[in-house]
Amino acid sequence: MSHKIHSTRRILLASLAFAVTGLTALQAQAQATKVLTLGSILSLTGPNASIGKEGVFGVEYAVKQVNAAGGVRIGADTYTLQNINIDDESKVERAVAAAERLVTSDKVPVVFTTPASTTTLAVLPTLEKNKTLGMSFVASAPAVISPELSYSFRSTLTSINNVNPSVDFLVKEKGIKTIAYLGRNDDWGRASGKAIVARANSLGAQVIVEEYFETGATDFSALLTKVRAANPDAVIGAAFIEDGVSLIKQYRELRLKPVFLTPSTIWSSPTFLKAAGKNAEGVYVATGSTTSDTPAIRAFSQQFEKVNGRKPLPFETTAYDSVMVVLEAMKKAGSTDPTLVRDALRKLEYKGVLQDYKFAGTNQSEVVINVNEIKDGQVKMISSLITR
């Protein structure tokens, strides 16, 4: 009888120990699966959709890779990630409504902002008011970074530091004296136009045509007729994919001869190259570091292709890096609190896939600027520099 009692007691103790161990494991698992929700307002429809779709895929790829590696350790907690993207339909009012929802309802600490500068500038006051980080990896208008917007950061190039090397190349390397500028009638297009005029004047060249078209335009005949009449040495066209394909097609149809350059990184994307076809041949494209060839970029491309069955598109890699920059700042801050992360970002130096990101006390990272030529359907880098 005594033997049975001791045996039963041992079984009960073992069961209790197992239960306690199991409970501890479940508690640890619960701690390990704390969720960090990110937010993004990236266009899936409308004239900014081509870039927006790349951005969403890049953010989601970063989320999946981090989760597959066991999450991210921030302070005392380990988080798995999720992202809530809201399609702004390439419209200002939709972007503002999306920002309101993300910060007030979803309570995200960071929002990856819209592809277009105009819509990004529209949402930044909402983010600032609610002390929520805004990270821009496409919008390049200078006003995205300003003293009044302490929570707004940018990991990519600005319209000025993209334009200046472009104009330098045309004037110094191609001997250009006169330029026609055709730009989107938005904050990016107008900021680029202003910078082009200033840089050209400083180098002794002149912008003799400066015209703007509405976002998503398809008929450029009137503008190109003005270009033909002015007979410039070069044309600079600031357009995305949807309007850019139409612009370069009609440019070729009119058999215009001036050198053509675009400050739009998206023209280096396989998406644009396929859509534009032979019309893109000979176009010069100013980009960020997405056209660089480094061991880090090659390794990322190989891993991405292994997972997704294709090579990454430019803004997919840019978006991936931007997520990692924010997560690194959160790790440095030991917190997801936007104010602490903001302060950590300003001190951050982070080696990403595309480049080294250094904010040096500002809200704008250093960037790599490449000037490239489209040749035989491929993007060939001509020159590169680092600037802020």
Q: What is the pLDDT of residues 335-347, one digit of tens each?
A: 999 999 999 999 9
Residue 10 has pLDDT above 90, yes or no: no
With the C-alpha atoms ordered 11, 17, 23, 26, is the resulting torsion angle positive or negative?
A: negative
Can you point out the beta strands (E) in 239-363? 259-262, 284-287, 349-351, 356-358
Instruction: Compute the half-sphere exposure of residue 199: CA atoms within 13 Å on the CB side of its CA.
Output: 24
Radius of gyration for the alpha carbons in the chain, expressed in angstroms and rounded? 25
* Residue 76 CA: distances (Å) to CA of 72, 82, 107, 132, 276: 11, 19, 21, 22, 50
Q: Which residues of 74-104 are buried (b: 16+ CB within 10 A; e: fewer)?
A: beeebbbbebbbbbbbbbbebbbbbbeebbe
Average pLDDT over residues 167-186: 97
What is the pLDDT of the chain when averaged over all its residues? 92
- pLDDT above 90 coverage of the chain, percent: 88
- At 9, is the pLDDT very low, low, confident or very high (cuts 50, 70, 90)? very low
Residue 260 has pLDDT above 90, yes or no: yes
Kindly report the three-state secondary structure assignment for every residue of 257-286.
Answer: CCEEEECCHHHHCHHHHHHHHHHHCCCEEE
- At 247, is the pLDDT very low, low, confident or very high (cuts 50, 70, 90)? very high
Q: What is the pLDDT of residue 52?
A: 97
Cβ burial, residue 37 (10 Å; 0-12/13-18/19+): middle
Lowest mean pLDDT among 181-185, 234-238, 290-294: 290-294
Which residue segments constitute the domains of the chain, with CATH numbers given? Answer: 34-157+293-367 (3.40.50.2300), 160-287 (3.40.50.2300)
Q: What is the pLDDT of residue 278?
A: 98
Q: What is the pLDDT of residue 281?
A: 98
Whole-angstrom Cα distance, residue 197 to residue 178?
A: 11
Average pLDDT over residues 210-235: 97
Q: 201: which 2 tokens?
A: 């004047």
Q: What is the pLDDT of residue 56?
A: 99
CB within 8 Å of 330: residues ≥ 6 apart: 72, 74, 336, 341, 344
Residue 16 has pLDDT above 70, yes or no: no
- Residue 374 bridge partners (DSSP): 379
* Residue 335 CA: distances (Å) to CA of 282, 357, 360: 48, 20, 20
CB within 8 Å of 249: residues ≥ 6 apart: 276, 279
Q: Which H or E element spans position 360?
A: none
Q: What is the pLDDT of residue 201?
A: 98
Can you give the pTM of this predicted structure? 0.86
Helices 159-168 and 187-202: angle between axes, nearest 10 degrees: 40
* Residue 91 CA: distances (Å) to CA of 47, 158, 222, 320, 371: 9, 22, 26, 24, 31
Q: What is the pLDDT of residues 93-149, one digit of tens each?
A: 999 999 999 999 999 999 999 999 999 999 999 999 999 999 999 999 999 999 999
Residue 298 has pLDDT above 80, yes or no: yes
Q: What is the pLDDT of residue 18?
A: 42
- pLDDT above 70 coverage of the chain, percent: 91
Residue at token pair 């592809």: 115
Q: What is the pLDDT of residue 388?
A: 67
- At 151, is the pLDDT very low, low, confident or very high (cuts 50, 70, 90)? very high
- At 385, is the pLDDT very low, low, confident or very high (cuts 50, 70, 90)? confident
Strands 110-112, 133-136: pairing kind: parallel
Helices 241-253 and 221-230: angle between axes, nearest 10 degrees: 50
Residue 176 has pLDDT above 70, yes or no: yes
